[in-house]
Amino acid sequence: MDSLFSMFEQLFQTQPSPDYPIVVATGLVAVAAVVVNVVWRRVRNVITIAHEGGHALVALLTGRQLHGIRLHSDTSGVTFTRGRERGLSAILTLLAGYLAPSLLGLGLAFLVGRGLIVLLLWVSLALLVAMALFIRNLYGLVTMLITGLLVFAVTWWAEPDVQATLAYLGVWFLLIGGVRPVWEVHRQRLRSRDRRSDPDQLAGITPLPAVVWLLFFAMVNLACLALGSQLLIPGIW
């Protein structure tokens, strides 16, 4: 019982935030990772994991059957579910993808802002393990394994100041990186007649056109970025 209480106490222990310049620097590094194409192509898988994880989680919560998730080397992904083709569960499942990285970033920013770095790391690791159970291709498994091992290494061996710095960097990246895919799918729709994207599928099962869903994604993700920034740097706005 004492060891269990000790583990629980450690999980919810608070850590001081990094110095202000470090918090700002992690944000700038995240901006560079999202804006610089050569870097973005190498780290975008993190956003794809959150995107497909969002589809999967909402599918389960709304009663759909989850048949698997595939992550691809071009940083795309697909989540296979079964259920009604129309209706609330289908709409919410499709909505979740492009919103998941930003909403996850906002939730983790809440934990970071309160110094709950250890809790953030273990929550992140638990989500990765849960998602890995549904991966159905080799590349996806390798991607999840590498990502999970990196998070575990930071959780288990890194010093508290390193944990805090990397936690801020990860949260910034989710918040900022969640915005770019919306712009990417918009550009893709302009260049191609392929209409299999999430906003196009939403347009097919709702009265609203795809462009309205794209604007909705953009507004929510920008709002998450603004709120998350306020949590990470109080008084920024």
What does the pLDDT read at residue 4? 54
pLDDT of 2 strictly over 60: no
Q: What percent of the chain has pLDDT over 90?
A: 84
What does the pLDDT read at residue 1? 55
> Domain residues of the chain, as ranges?
17-232
- pTM of the predicted protein model: 0.94
What does the pLDDT read at residue 196? 81
What does the pLDDT read at residue 50? 97
C-alpha neighbours within 13 Å on the C-beta side of residue 14: 8
Strands (E), 34-121: 65-71, 77-82
Mean pLDDT value of segment 70-99 = 94
SS3 (DSSP) at 70? strand
pLDDT of 193 strictly over 80: no
- Virtual torsion, Cα 151, 155, 157, 162, nearest 10 deg: 90
What does the pLDDT read at residue 123? 93
CB distance 66 to 206 below 8 Å: no
What does the pLDDT read at residue 195? 75
pLDDT classification of 7: cutoffs 50, 70, 90: low
What does the pLDDT read at residue 60? 95
pLDDT classification of 30: cutoffs 50, 70, 90: very high
What does the pLDDT read at residue 12? 80
What are the backbone angles phi and psi of residue 136, rounded to the nearest 5°? -125, 20
Residue that wins the pLDDT comparison between 2 and 221? 221
Mean pLDDT value of segment 147-157 = 94
